[in-house]
Amino acid sequence: MSIYYTKNHEWAKVEDNIAMVGITEYAVSQLGDVVFINLPESEKSYKQDETLAEIESVKAASDIYSPLSGKVTELNSKLDNSPETINNSPETKGWIAKIEIINSDEINKLMNKEQYQQHLQTLK
């Protein structure tokens, strides 16, 4: 399994042609306490960088963008009743959706962990 990041602070854990998608700890630290998430539609296809979900926190509402093009195959329905899971565990239990990847070449547009850490340094 490989993990990739976007400049918008989403992550994608890729195994075979499935990407588990969520937001990074940095995104959570900027949002504050998550109070609601509007999950994507199951079985719907999304393009890379298209709005996948919407998240609301005590500070703001934000879009979550799809790191890769693909079809949603599974949702983390636990987030419906427990959106705070994203705060407690954004890069594991707080995953948002699983996507069947349509174009694996898009992975080349994403950052690895080291590149993402360097990107975060430019934001300070």
**Per-residue pLDDT averaged across 41-50, rounded?**
97
pLDDT grade for 92, boundaries at 50, 70 and 90: very high
What are the residue boundaries of the structural domains of the chain, listed by start? 2-103
Give me the CATH code for the 2-103 domain, please.
2.40.50.100
99 closest CA partner among 54, 62, 55, 52: 52
Return mean pLDDT, the chain. 96
- Give pLDDT, residue 1: 86
For the whole model, what pTM was predicted?
0.95
- Give pLDDT, residue 41: 95
Q: In the beta sheet, which residues pair with residue 65?
A: 51
- Give pLDDT, residue 124: 76
**pLDDT > 70: what percent of the chain?**
100
pLDDT grade for 74, boundaries at 50, 70 and 90: very high
